[in-house]
Amino acid sequence: MCNLYSGQDKRLYAREKRSVRLSGFVTSICLERLFWRVLDEAAASEGLSTPRFIGKLYEEMQAREDAISSFASLLRVTCAIYINRNPDKPLVSYLEREAPAAPAVASAPTRAPIGVLAPTAP
């Protein structure tokens, strides 16, 4: 049984950190590469960029007045829901393409649109 879990592709759990601007505030989100790729695909399936998808999810949670104690956890569960809706797709297939290039988050105090997402140094 252990080989089933310990023998997984290391690319699936490599960590990536991205900065995102939500409601005018910049925050970093660190997720495993698999989750970023699933978010990329989920966003595309909704006709949105990944930054906009994350921004809309955040806005919808705020509109519902649901407290978000861990946004990264919410994103992982979102990915689990998406993966569950696509059971015939192997997890490693989410790594077959690279993530789309993301614009850098402005460091100036100007407000960027909600959901601007950029990779940050580890």
Q: What is the pLDDT of residues 33-63, one digit of tens each?
A: 999 999 999 999 999 988 889 989 998 988 8
Residue 34, classified by CB atoms within 10 Å of its CB into exposed (0-12), middle (13-18) or buried (19+), is: buried
**What local confidence, expressed as pLDDT, does residue 10 receive?**
85
**What local confidence, expressed as pLDDT, does residue 82 receive?**
95
- Ramachandran category for residue 24: left, alpha or beta (phi over 0 → left; psi -120 to 50 → alpha): left
Helices (H), 2-110: 2-6, 10-13, 33-45, 50-63, 71-84
**What local confidence, expressed as pLDDT, does residue 97 receive?**
61
